[in-house]
Structures are given as structure tokens and as C-alpha cells.
Amino acid sequence: MVSALFGALVGLAACGSTAGHGGAAPRAPQLVFFQRNGGLAATLDAVTIRTDGAAHYEKRYGGAGGRFDDFRLSAPMLTRVRAGLARVPARLRDAGHRGMTGGATYILRYRGRSYAVREGAVPRPLRPVVAALDDVLDGSGRSGRVRSIRQAPA
């Protein structure tokens, strides 16, 4: 009984992801992941951007649910993000700055490397991409909304 139920669930999961679409479309590789947490509003926002400009945004509200959007970046914003990423060095020197008290922490993952910096102490080479991605989190450069989901509190 349990194995039959498991088999049925696996079959449904396999079929459900492609129903009505004629097969799942291949996803472009990930270009960059960016997360902003903390700050005065105590937020946790993240965006994953793929090489084709497709993006997935998550805004968490602690135990109060969250918001999740899939969208495309506008061509000018994707160009701005790529230009900022082109300046990201393989390694950063530790400047020894603590950043703003109560400021946000930014986490950037790009080309297999992770960078964590504080608001008010973002190293010069990262400033253009952090500013661009911060703007994306705030809603700039979005076009062609695909889907928006609001999650109710648990």
C-alpha cells in the first residue's frame, strides 16, 4: 500500500511539472545570486538572476509568510548588472571597515565565489553591482512579470 502510494506520488510529480507545457523548458545557467538582510527594516530579500535575464525574487516576512516573484530583467538593467559583475575581483582585500550600525548585510554569489559586505563598507569594486542588485530588490528594472505568489503566515 505504501509503495503503491509512493509510486503514484512520484508519477504525479513527474507529470505535474510539465502538464500543458509539452515539456519543461531548459533553464539558463545562474548568473548571480544576491541577498540583502537586516538593516533598519529587518528584511530578508534575495534575487537569483539567470544569464538570459530571468529572475526569481524572494521577500521573507519572518513567520508571517513571504512574497515570491518570477520576472525578467529589462535589457538596460541586465546590462547594468553585467557591467557591475565585470568589475568584481576574484579576491577582495579586507578593508577593515565595519559598516553602518544597524545597516544591511549583502551576500553576493558570482562565479563560484561568495562575498559578504556591510552597508556603508562596500568595497569600491563591488559598489556598482551591489547598487544595481539593491535596485532590483527594490523593484527597478523588472519587465515581463511571469508569476507572483504570496504565502500566508504559517
Asked if residue 147 belongs to a domain, the reply is: yes
Asked if residue 22 belongs to a domain, the reply is: no
Per-residue model confidence as pLDDT tens digits over 27-76: 899 999 999 997 666 678 999 999 999 999 998 766 667 788 889 999 99
Higher-pLDDT residue of 113 and 93 is 113
- 149 contacts 68 by C-beta, under 8 angstroms: yes
Q: Is the pLDDT of residue 154 over 70?
A: no
Candidates 118, 151, 120, 141; CA nearest to 47 is 141
Asked if residue 64 belongs to a domain, the reply is: yes
Tell me the CATH number at 132. 3.30.1560
Asked if residue 95 belongs to a domain, the reply is: yes
Asked if residue 16 belongs to a domain, the reply is: no
Asked if residue 84 belongs to a domain, the reply is: yes
Specify the pLDDT at position 40: 60
Specify the pLDDT at position 8: 37
- 55 contacts 136 by C-beta, under 8 angstroms: yes
Asked if residue 43 belongs to a domain, the reply is: yes
CA 82 to chain centre: 15
DSSP for 4-16 reads HHHHHHHHHHHHH
Largest separation between any pair of C-alpha atoms in the chain: 62
Asked if residue 17 belongs to a domain, the reply is: no
Structural domains in the chain (count): 1
Range of the domain at 142: 28-151
Cα separation values, 47 from 34, 35, 61, 93, Å? 5, 7, 15, 25
Mean pLDDT, residues 118-124 taken together:
90
Higher-pLDDT residue of 18 and 45 is 45
Cα separation values, 60 from 32, 108, 115, 143, 147, Å? 19, 18, 21, 22, 17
